[in-house]
Structure 1
Amino acid sequence: MTNRTGASSLAQRAYARLRADILEGRLRPGQRLRPAGLAAAQGVSVSVVREVLNRLAGERLVRATPQQGFTVVQATAADLVDLFDVLALVETAALREAVERGTLEWESGVVAAHHRLARTPVPDPDGPGDGADEWARAHDAFHAATMAACGSPRLLETITGLVQCAALYRRWTHPHGEEGRDVAAEHRAIFEAAVGRDADLACRLHQEHVRRTVDGALAALEHENAAATGGTGPEPGTRAPAPEGP
């Protein structure tokens, strides 16, 4: 039992460290991940690293390719736009249902989640990653609370998977993706529309919130591509157009 518990603890620590390295940019998009080297660096077995990499592949943070091994997923504008278009589509569907059918208990959950988010300091882009993690958890919990009463567990499961994918872009594109935005005001407006039972307004505000995130992330990717190519801008064909407004 002790050995099994110890192995599980090692795997969990290796998972947390590799995940943080990806989200915080120490392992870059497209970078090859060699299990032997990672195992030596983290002081665990190759089998533990492979288990962790397969888990991260399930979260779409790592790509597993037969005969080629593991790489950090590649950030592209086309994938970003597609991901957030689908996310906005399913989230607004869940939000509309929740606002229209939510109980007082749901409303209380939304109030509590917004209060937590509003009281969580916005992370300093130059600071440690812990603050960003805490804010991201509060952010995701708030949006999840607004949709919790939609009545469809499958829809909520779909949203959870897409949010995990979106977290990668949010972390990679910060701080460029937040410049010029009052994100707290955006969340407050969504909150007020939701508890005010105005489904049309809540959905419109949520769509606008997502689109601002897309616009900022696209700008950040362009910045990254320009830096990688010596200031010449993104490679041809890598930047998809931003989605049209609602």
Structure 2
Amino acid sequence: MTYGAANLNDDGTGSKSTLASTVYQRLREDLLSGALETESKLRVEWVVSKYGAGASPVREALNRLASEGLLGRHDQRGFFIMPVSAAELEELTRTRCWLEERALRESIAHRTAEWEEQLVLALHRLGRASRLSQQDPSSIDPDWEKLHRTFHRVLISACRSHWLVGFCDQLSDHAYRYRQMANGGESVPRDGSAEHRLIAEYALDGNADGAVQALIDHYQLTASICMERFKQGEVSKVAASAARARR
């Protein structure tokens, strides 16, 4: 599929900024969903061919993604997809808990009636949605994911710091990348709806300590599930390599 075709001007040329934004969004979605193999090199020519844009807007998109930590960059050797690791997942979860604790405490301290209504609505919509896709029960439904993101964003939206919310959003993106890679069935029993409901109830009651602990428990359980799936994947790779070596 060639993206950006609709952005061509009458003279057949495309808006560089529009094309760069289109490539950025499409490539970002593929990176976060795990559709592209980690540690692979991303040659400009390959991205140009896959996403249907010129080299200049592609480089702009790649540089933007590198600044967000989704791509790495070798001097004179181009870009590569950032690898995943158990150590990074642990650090990511720890940092996310630190920042969102502060954001949630501030949000509860400065809560308003409008914020409470938005939180109740976000929780209600999330609770009514199906987490797994009807077309592919082994994958997360994109609509559920949007509602899930909205719920967590509303929780901290009253913290009065767009910088803090922005940092939390960036960490949330990276955590989503790990969740997508680890998807394939949860071996640890959990009730996600109950977890979200508990966080919201504490927040609405003004119980910052309870809300923070429930949120941290929620994130740490998710991380432990991802960690287990991640390690299982590593074991499978080692076994496959050993099998190939015996042939």
How does the TM-score come out when normalised to structure 1?
A: 0.83
5+ long unaligned stretches in structure 2: 1-7, 243-247
* Mapping 1:94-113, distance limit 5 Å: 94-113=103-122
Q: Which residue of 1 aligns with 2:4?
A: none
Show the 5 A alignment for 1:53-202: 53-124=62-133, 127=136, 132-176=141-185, 179-202=188-211
Q: Which has the larger radius of gyration?
A: 2
Q: Distance in 1 between matches of 2:214 and 2:180?
A: 22
Q: Cα gap change, 1:129/1:50 in structure 2, threshold over 3 Å: closer, same or farther?
A: farther
CA distance in 2, matches of 1:232, 1:193: 49
The amino acid that maps onto 1:44 is A
Report the residue type matching 1:135 in the other structure: W
Higher mean Cα deviation, 125-134 or 209-218? 125-134
1:49 pairs with one of 31, 45, 58:
58
TM-superposition CA deviations, 1:6-58 (whole Å, max 9, x none): 44444344333322332333311111111112212333222222222122222
State the Cα distance separating 1:178 from its structure 2 match. Answer: 7.2
Change (3 A) 1:225 1:200: same
Q: Deviations over 1:128-150 (max 9, x none)?
A: 99964322221121111111122
Q: CA deviation at 1:106?
A: 1.3
Q: Quick one: which amino acid aligns to residue 124 of structure 1?
A: S
Q: Residue type of the partner of 2:166? A: E
Q: Which moved more, 1:178-187 or 1:122-131?
A: 122-131
Letter in 1 for 2:99: V
Once the two structures are TM-superposed, the CA of residue 230 in structure 1 deviates from its matched residue by: 1.6
Kindly tell me the number of residue pairs found equivalent between the two proteins.
233
Give the unaligned 5+ runs of structure 1: 234-246
Identity of aligned residues (%): 32
| 1:77-102 deviation per Cα after TM superposition (whole angstroms, max 9, x unaligned) | 11111111010111012112222331
Q: Corresponding residue for 1:213?
A: 222
- Residue 38 in structure 1 maps to residue 47 in structure 2: yes
TM-superposed deviation, 1:222: 0.4
Please give the root-mean-square deviation of Cα atoms over the aligned residues, in Å. 2.8
Counterpart AA for 1:68: R
TM-score normalised according to structure 2 size: 0.83
Report if the CA contact (8 A) 2:138-2:185 is conserved.
no
For residue 149 of structure 1, what is the amino acid of its counterpart?
Answer: A
- What is the CA-CA distance between 1:113 and the residue it aligns to? 1.5
CA contact (8 A) 1:59 1:164 kept: no
Q: Given residue 123 of structure 2, which amino acid in structure 1 is its aligned partner? A: H
* AA at the equivalent of 1:42: Y
